[in-house]
Amino acid sequence: MATLTSDIDCSRHTTREINQAIKLAAADGVPEIHLANPTARHCLAVAVMQPIDIVFDGPVGWFCGGMCDGARITVHGNCGWSVGENLMSGSISVHGNSGSSTAATIRGGRIFVAGDTGARAGISMKGGTLVVGGSVGYMSGFMMQRGTMIVCGDAADGIGDSMYEGTVYVGGEIASLGADCIEAELGDDDRELLARELGPQGIDSSAKDWKKLVAGRKLWNFSRHEYDAWRGAL
Amino acid sequence: MCGLCGFLYKDSERVGPVGRTLHAMLGPMARRGTDSTGIALYGAPQPGSYIVRARIDANHGTPERVVAALEGAGTVSEHTQTGPNLRARIEYSGDLGDLTDAIEAEPDVEVFSIGRAMEIVKEVGDADAVEAADPYAGFEGSHAIGHTRMATESLVDVAHSHPFWARPFPDISVVHNGHITNYHKLRRRLENQGHRFATGNDSEVIAVYIADKLERGESLEDALRASVSDLDGTFAYLISTPDGIGVARDPFALKPLLFAESDEAALIASEEVSIRAVDADTKLVPRELAAGEVRWWLR
């Protein structure tokens, strides 16, 4: 297979052929690859282990960019569930909405969703950064362990439920905090971080009333004296 | 997993190739369910008559006896049989439960649907298998819902395939993805009210539950909202009525469901790939329903 491919029409290939072409192009040092007509197909650009710019001209399906390590992915359209699942490094920019479990279990890298996400955005994040230009769905940040989630819009019920560590910033309204998620004081270093992360996306961080959410740490160790907290979590 | 899809023309006067549209939308949904596929289609209603859809898994004169039973109940103006699938139009003014009983008095006969506009077709296999067994892609109508099933409980056969008719309520059916964990309790409650069930599939209870509320005068919106708290378990479902389609998603958002709409039509599907099957140039912007959200489109 010729590997110096920089344009792929997804409608003419199987998902396996597309992913193999992307990986071969990345291994050959092709700097950028464009993919037309993805039509919301699942599992595109997964486990790409070299730095390469991957541009989807249209919506992609579930698990796009999962397990990638160094690739820079841009999607001009929506993403389905679990975009960037277990991302190690690199970036994914979604110029549309994304489905549930956005950025699930990411360990590094940066995921930006210009629109809204579904439920459980940032579930079990272990590092990295998730920036959402719109709002996030139910129980986002659930069991977050590390990393940063920035939500410019609103957060649905249960934000940050049972989070261990990490930080969630919400610029809009919070429907309700999840179990053991508490609001912390916003400092200058937080404002600098928000400006640094949102500036490149064309978002003015100073225009929002940010809330900083962290773990209350009452669920770290069981205590019968904290029975109500445990009952609420379970 | 199971795959859901639906399509509706918003204008009450408009009809179009809903069979072809659903066939295209069901194609990508085959990955979510390979066991069976089914569609509920709504054509132009004809007051005074019903369309009966039934499957006859027996011979030795059974089809003739079923037609005779129909003729004994009312005036049969047309009937055709495609393989085991019977389609008949009957002028009938009695109780639909009695009509269903009369048809199913013969062994190995199952009524899929009775409605003034609704017709349910289903088959083991994918959408192409349905089309091969009982062609529906040429159907012209106002709206339709479809389902691809991955069975996790109850049998893999045509009877347990979706959509489920809310017997004996005409023109109401459901397709569902998930599990209703308080199924037995809900079913007992509805049975105590006189309702009957054709299968042991938990999804069937949603159809009867909603139809019962509509029968009592509740709006589709109110019935959908009540279902979110009354149904336990995981669910994304589409309920179709003579006037439209309603959808609901469970409070934990555990099953996927998206919708997209234009001035002319509403499209619903488990995954965007199903919507893109009929909107490849990406004019529509699908959105996922939020946890516990309900929506409805009435013509």
Name the percent of chain B lying above pLDDT 90: 90
What distance in Å separates residue B30's CA from the closest CA in chain A?
13
The mean per-residue pLDDT over the stretch A188-202 comes to: 97
Confidence check: pLDDT of B252 > 80? yes
Asked which of A76-90, B23-37, B250-264, B270-284 is least confident by mean pLDDT, the reply is B270-284
Q: What is the mean pLDDT of residues A180-184?
A: 96
Nearest to A97 among B253, B271, B287 (CB): B287
Is the Cβ pair A37, B253 closer than 8 Å? no
Q: Which residues of chain A does B286 touch, with a Cβ-Cβ cutoff of 8 Å?
A: 78, 97
The mean pLDDT value for A34-61 works out to 97
Contact A60, A37 (CB under 8 A): no
- Please check whether residue B228 touches A, CB under 8 A: no
DSSP B201: -
pLDDT at residue number A9: 95
Structure tokens at A216: 């209350």
Cβ proximity of B90 and B77 under 8 Å: yes
Please state, in angstroms and rounded to a whole number, the distance separating the CA atoms of residues B87 and A7: 50
Any A CB within 8 A of B271 CB: yes
Q: H or E stretch including A234? A: none
Amino acid letter, B104:
E
Do A80 and B280 count as a contact with CB atoms less than 8 A apart?
A: no
**What sign has the CA pseudo-torsion A182, A160, A196, A109?**
positive
Q: Which residues pair with B8 in a beta bridge?
A: B143, B266
What is the Cα Rg of chain B in Å? 18
Q: Tell me if residue B2 is catalytic.
A: yes
pLDDT of A222 over the 90 cut: no
Per DSSP, A137 falls in state -
Q: Is B5 on the interface with A (CB under 8 A)?
A: no
CB B265 within 8 A of CB B279: no
Arithmetic mean of pLDDT, B52-56 = 96
Token output for A16: 């396996």
* CA torsion angle A66 A72 A78 A84 (round to 10): 20
pLDDT at A2: 44
Confidence (pLDDT) at B28: 95
- Mean pLDDT in residue range A157-176: 97
Distance CA A95, CA A89 (A): 19
pLDDT digits (tens, 9 = 90+) for A65-121: 999 999 999 999 999 999 999 999 999 999 999 999 999 999 999 999 999 999 999
Give me the pLDDT at residue B286, please: 94
3-state secondary structure of B275: helix
Chain A residues whose CB is inside 8 A of the B253 CB are: 100, 118-120, 137-138
What is the model's pLDDT at position A190?
A: 98
In this model, does residue A228 exceed pLDDT 90?
no
Reply yes or no on whether the pLDDT at A3 is more than 70: no
Model pLDDT, residue A1: 45
pLDDT at A5: 66
**How confident is the prediction for chain B on average, in pLDDT?**
95
Three-class SS of residue A128?
A: strand
Give the distance from CA B143 to its chain's centroid: 11
Torsion sign (Cα): A167, A173, A179, A181: positive
On chain A, the residues whose CB falls within 8 A of the CB of B272 are 40, 59, 61, 78, 80
Per-residue pLDDT at A226:
74
A105-121 tens-digit pLDDT: 999 999 999 999 999 99
For the stretch B266-285, pLDDT in tens is: 999 999 999 999 988 878 99
* Torsion, Cα of A92, A98, A102, A108 (10° steps): 10
Mean pLDDT of B107-129: 96
d(CA B119, CA B131): 14
Give the chain A residue nearest B255 (alpha carbons). A100
Sheet of B49-56, strand order: B75-82, B85-91, B49-56, B109-115
Task: Measure Cα distances from A168 to A145, A152, A158, A219, B264 in Å.
Answer: 11, 11, 12, 18, 40
pLDDT digits (tens, 9 = 90+) for B133-167: 999 999 999 999 999 999 887 788 998 999 999 99
- Would you call B132 an interface residue with chain A, using a CB distance cutoff of 8 Å? no
Work out the pLDDT band at A231, boundaries 50, 70, 90.
confident
Give the distance, in angstroms, between the CA of residue A135 and the centroid of all CA atoms in the same chain.
Answer: 13
List all residues of chain A from 143 to 202 with a beta carbon under 8 Å from chain B.
156-157
d(CA B199, CA B35): 17
Q: Is B190 on the interface with A (CB under 8 A)?
A: no
Does residue A102 or residue B62 have the better pLDDT? A102
Nearest to A45 by CA among A90, A110, A112: A90
Kindly determine whether residue A81 and residue B276, on different chains, have CB atoms separated by under 8 Å.
no
Give CA–CA dist A213/A160, Å, rounded.
7
Q: Does B279 touch chain A (CB under 8 A)?
A: no
Q: Which amino acid is at A155?
A: A
Tell me the average pLDDT across B223-239.
98
B30 at the A interface (CB within 8 A)?
Answer: no
Going along chain B, which residue ranges are E strands? 2-9, 36-42, 49-56, 75-82, 85-91, 109-115, 118-124, 143-149, 164-165, 173-180, 233-240, 244-249, 258-261, 265-269, 287-288, 294-298
Of B60 and B13, the one with more pLDDT:
B13
* Cα A79 from Cα A95, distance rounded (Å): 9
Helix (H, G, I), strand (E, B) or coil at A2: coil
Give me the long-range contacts of A143-151 (CB less than 8 A, separation at least 24): A144/A168, A147/A106, A147/A122, A148/A193, A148/A197, A149/A103, A149/A121, A149/A122, A149/A125, A150/A194, A150/A197, A150/A198, A151/A121
Query: B-chain residues within 8 Å CB-CB of A99?
Result: 256, 258, 288
Q: Provide the residue count of chain A.
A: 234
**Quick one: which of A156, A206, A148 has its CA closest to A177?**
A156
Look-up: residue for tokens 């009867």? B208
Q: Are A233 and A219 in contact (CB under 8 A)?
A: yes
In a mutational test of the B interface, the residue from A44, A100, A117 whose CB has the highest number of chain B CBs within 10 Å is: A100
The ipTM of this complex is 0.90
In this prediction, residue B1 carries a pLDDT of 84
Helices (H) and strands (E) in chain B, counts: 8, 16
Rounded Cα distance between B193 and B205, Å, is 13
